[in-house]
Amino acid sequence: MQKIKKILGEQYLPFKVLTVLALSIVLILYFISCSRKGGDFVTFLEAATKMWEGKNIYAPPYVNLRYSYSPFWAMILVPFALLPAGVGAFIWLIISLILLVRTIWLLKNHFGVRGGSVKADRILWFIILLYVSRYAELNFHHVQMTIFLVWLILEASVQLFSEGELVAGVLVGIGSIIKIMPVVIIPYFFYRRKFLAAFSAIFTMILCFFIPIVFTGRQLFEEMNRSWYSILRPDSPEFQSDATWHLPQNLSTLMYRLLVHTGAPHSYPVLDLSYSAATNIIWITIGCLIVLTLYFLGTWPFARVSRLHQLYEISYIMLLIPLIFPHQMKYAFYFVLPAICCVAMVLVDNFDTAKLGINYKLTATLFLLSFLLCTATTDLILGMDLSTITQHYKTITIGTLLLIPALALNRAWFLAQE
């Protein structure tokens, strides 16, 4: 950058302005293209429209896919549904971009995800953004809301340090009632003695759950929640179909591929177990990963921790979300952003002093393999046919699992940041 500035001299500022302007135009055109297609936002707006018309938002017909979020979220999106076609999706993309920038700002300025020098900082963030670029683009392309949920969890975590426990709880409560996944942060609040945050999150969930009854009436409200429960329950046909569908990317679908003849293309399981036996093994594995959270917390309950240590704890909890929750698509793995920040920071910060150590080499190897399996398997690089095969074998899930030992190897480094 300094070389370019020196070469251009007085022309550097106009060049910089024109570059930013050109990139902004390209981004706006991309958002317009995504909003015209609508992505998954079409499903959200269809549910909001049904809510406005006094219909069951979970009942057919469906324009795109069956809606599986809460009645509260459909109610919130009613104003978007009343806008001309594509406008609501475009506004949501702009909001998502703002929240993405805000998330990066929080990671850099609150949690301290920075390199030791200007050059190291640029390298660090190049690595981080390159790794998560696939997930960010998928969220924009499908007009999804994972960017919103990741911001919400990190913003709530920031509030815990700024004496904003009530705000933190409200944020997590709203996120949990919209899409259940942020609920995993509530036990963390209890563990860190943030009782006001925990109870305000629970109260917010209960309040937001019942708010739609004001607009729908009791009968429709009860009907919709029965339908919603039938979708969320673990034995829902929608989740059972994940075992043979190549798109979902989580731990259960990976293990079904390894343990059961699913009948899907390219199906070559290591074992040939029944679905029930495989399901029991999956639940045991998920339980072990949840218990492993205690290792990453690193201290006894109620202990005070540094901001970087807090990010380390949260990163593992957030990494588990796309792994253990059912019906997760590729864009959901944007939740690994904090974990990527932690591992990349260790690699960049210790490059000069620890590059010959076995711990550093193992971490670097795991991180590189994770990047290749998660980001480099996009169809833009491999082509659609090969990319489909990688989706079948859940390379994104495998790559994400590799981040767990990478984080575990460097637990002592984060504990030392107190």
Judge whether residue 355 has pLDDT over 70: no
Judge whether residue 69 has pLDDT over 60: yes
What pLDDT, on a 0 to 100 scale, did the predictor assign at position 135? Answer: 93
Distance CA 4, CA 2 (A): 5
Confidence of residue 138 (pLDDT cuts 50, 70, 90): very high
Q: What is the mean pLDDT of residues 82-87?
A: 88
Phi, psi of 209, rounded to the nearest 5 degrees: -60, -40
Distance CA 84, CA 9 (A): 47
Joined tokens for residue 384: 């659609």
Joined tokens for residue 315: 């990163």
Joined tokens for residue 135: 């997930």
Amino acid at 67: Y
Q: Which residue has the higher pLDDT, 149 or 264?
A: 149
Q: What is the mean pLDDT of residues 307-311?
A: 91
Q: Which of 264, 250, 258, 263 is nearest to 277 (CA)?
A: 258
Q: Which residue has the higher pLDDT, 325 or 38?
A: 325
Confidence of residue 242 (pLDDT cuts 50, 70, 90): low
pTM attached to this predicted model: 0.91
Judge whether residue 5 has pLDDT over 80: no
Per-residue pLDDT tens over the stretch 173-205: 999 999 889 999 999 999 999 999 999 999 999
Report the phi/psi class of residue 257: left, alpha or beta, with left for phi > 0 and alpha for psi in -120 to 50: alpha
Is the CB of residue 100 less than 8 Å from the CB of residue 136? yes
